[in-house]
Structure 1
Amino acid sequence: MPFQLVDRAVTVSPLPLLLIEEARMLGQSVSRATHRRIRKGVYVDGAAYDALKPWERYAVRVLAFARRHPSAVLCLESAAVVLGLPTFGEARDIHVYDPDRAASRRFGDVAVHTSDDPRAVTSVDGILVTTMIDTVVDLARVLPPAQALAVVDASISSVQGGSQALPELSARAASQRARRGRVHLRWLWEFADGAAESPAESVSRAVIEWVGFPRPVLQRTFRYEGHRDRVDFHFPESDAIGEVDGWEKYALADPDAAAQRLADEKRREDRLRRYGHPFARWDLAEAWRVDPLVRALRAAGIRRTYAPHSTFLATLASYSPRTVRASR
């Protein structure tokens, strides 16, 4: 079964969790001036918490909840944190699955879900979550399409037997009574590709498709001047290359190493241009805004081949690129 492998599990909080009873045993003080209360009796360093990215804050909240409620089964975005799937911003709620409830309910920031369709449950380092396949199908139903694509792409690239992953996802969704999201589920199963190596690539693929550009080849390798250069996107019609940057790869602690990586990337791009490949480069924020990505592709000589999908493009409008996790 392909969905049994979890190789990107996140079960350690981005910040150390300080339980009040442990602090008392160790003689440590917990002050409102220096600590942030995450859940009842669970604290973290306040300044460090404020400095976290939105998805990191959500991970702290999810793992603090799991520490206090070890018998709870996490689902949806909360399960995605533990399973190492892409997450977007800081979700409002901690999501819990409870099949014994008569109806779903919310308790503060905890949303407890039930369903007529049973979910399988697994334990990841002692944290109970819905299984990878159920978590992916659930998120595919409820997330906006570009985000859902990032989740599906990530799931099929990270499991054993990836070639069978999509049929298994499709079969699980088809076996359920739930009808929510069935239209864009069909698009996801047709369009998902485990060759996408990051959420930035998945979102970019969606935008490229919806704007009406030809579908690119992913992870094409070129061999010039004794080098092996693999690119994110290749557009065979124009022989153009597209690269989406998360820029985290250049944010190294060692300034010399960062400068060397930038220099290597510049030489790589120059080499590909010398052999006749127009080059388009953009980042995740530009993909979300659509127009900058369109301008980059047009400048590289890539032309639209069909009309834009305005309905799909409209699903991008309300999501800020500043709060989207750009790597997994």
Structure 2
Amino acid sequence: MDFEDAASRIESRATLLRNGVTRRDISTGGVHRIARGGFVPHEVWAEAWPNERHLLQVAAFEERRRGGPVVYSHLTAAILHGLPLWGAAPARVHLSGSHHNGAVTRGAPLVSRHRCAIPDADVAAVGRLTATSLARTLADVLRTAPVATAIVMADAAMRRVAGDDSRRAYDSDAADALRGAVARRLRPGARGVCQAREVLDLADGRSESPGESVSRWRLHEIAFAPPRLQVRIPGPGPGAYFVDFGLDDADVWGEYDGEVKYRVEEMRRGAALDELISAEKAREDWIRGVTGRRLVRWSTADIRTTAALRTKLAHFRVFPTPSRGPSHR
């Protein structure tokens, strides 16, 4: 669901009544109320991912908004830019502008208004909306969002500007250019700037999923050396396998398994589940056999907290090099 799709789902009270929804249905929750005067069918809200729910909130705000143009910012801008969200949807739609004069106010239950100057260079068109640029958005998110959300969005932005999935290539110069643009927008002494700099330093677009990004942050906090990412292992034929993490200081391979363990695309192409499981087992056996290294796996539940991943790895007797602090590249 993109913004235009979200906007098409929003219905006003008057529209609902014209379409046969009763006042009782509206007042008793027969439809989901996003904001005053903005509703969606319950099934739309129930089936929406957190980022999609926020797009519905933005669409509901746009439906009722009056006055001049606004600049969407922070997590709202990040979601409009298509960056992935880790965790719950933001509770409020974020706006920024110099006419607010300095802090955050809440003029409406759905909105947080950030009073700050937005130079023209930091403003970008996103479809028919206006938002902070990608670099400015990252600078704001890295300072103010939970750290897991921050690293997920930073990695995704780096991947967007530097990754080439078709060739499995990564342009480090392009990634560093974005890193520098974000760093220049981090004002010394601003709230959250220390977190922002640490996350920015660690950001790497070679992480292929939000779960891999959060995993890497947890490994950093546990004090593993920076892992190699998407390590190529020559396969039995002309192709190759790629492993999420090379934990060289622990002499193991690491892989994150998401909630959807086996690739939906392959299942859609007709591969049976038992075939996928068999292929994955053969892959893992090959990697262990040719490298002489164990391969350990963890799930989303294992990266909810740093302690959870530390405990999981400890059960497998996987530990970082003794006496390391958190790595700072």
Give TM class, smaller chain. 0.7 to 0.9
List aligned pairs for 1:209-220, cutoff 5 A: 209-220=220-231
Structure 2: state its 5+ residue gaps.
163-173
Specify the code of the residue in structure 2 equivalent to 1:77: L
Return the offset for 1:282: 0.6
Deviations 1:121-144 (A, max 9, x none): 222110221111111100111123
In structure 2, the residue matched to 1:278 is: 294
Return the offset for 1:15: 7.9
Return the offset for 1:196: 1.3
Choose from 1, 10, 17 the match for 1:17: 10
Return the offset for 1:209: 1.4
Return the offset for 1:178: 5.8
Distance 1:234 1:163 in 2: 22
In structure 2, the residue matched to 1:78 is: 76
Distance 1:271 1:10 in 2: 44
Query: Equivalent residue of 1:250, what SS?
Result: coil
Describe the shift of the 1:115–1:73 C-alpha distance in structure 2 as closer, same or farther (beyond 3 A).
Answer: same
Choose from 269, 284, 288 the match for 2:284: 269
Higher-RCO chain (CA-CA 8 Å, sequence separation at least 6): 1
Query: Equivalent residue of 1:156, what SS?
Result: helix
Distance 2:7 2:16 in 1: 19
TM-score in terms of structure 2 length: 0.79
Return the offset for 1:12: 2.9
Structure 1: state its 5+ residue gaps.
1-7, 311-328
Query: Equivalent residue of 2:298, what SS?
Result: strand
Distance 2:175 2:4 in 1: 24
Describe the shift of the 1:110–1:285 C-alpha distance in structure 2 as closer, same or farther (beyond 3 A).
Answer: same
Matched, 1:162 2:175: yes
Deviations 1:208-228 (A, max 9, x none): 111122221001110131141
Q: Does the Cα contact within 8 Å between 1:18 and 1:44 map onto a contact in 2?
A: yes
Aligned length: 299
In structure 1, the residue matched to 2:154 is: 152
Report which stretch shifted further, 32-41 or 89-98.
32-41
Q: Does the Cα contact within 8 Å between 1:11 and 1:82 map onto a contact in 2?
A: no
Distance 1:292 1:274 in 2: 29
In structure 2, the residue matched to 1:288 is: 304
List aligned pairs for 1:198-213, cutoff 5 A: 198-213=209-224
In structure 2, the residue matched to 1:111 is: 112
Specify the code of the residue in structure 2 equivalent to 1:201: E
Describe the shift of the 1:111–1:291 C-alpha distance in structure 2 as closer, same or farther (beyond 3 A).
Answer: closer
Q: Does the Cα contact within 8 Å between 2:96 and 2:114 map onto a contact in 1?
A: yes
Specify the code of the residue in structure 2 equivalent to 1:157: R
Q: Does the Cα contact within 8 Å between 2:139 and 2:185 map onto a contact in 1?
A: yes
Describe the shift of the 1:99–1:298 C-alpha distance in structure 2 as closer, same or farther (beyond 3 A).
Answer: same
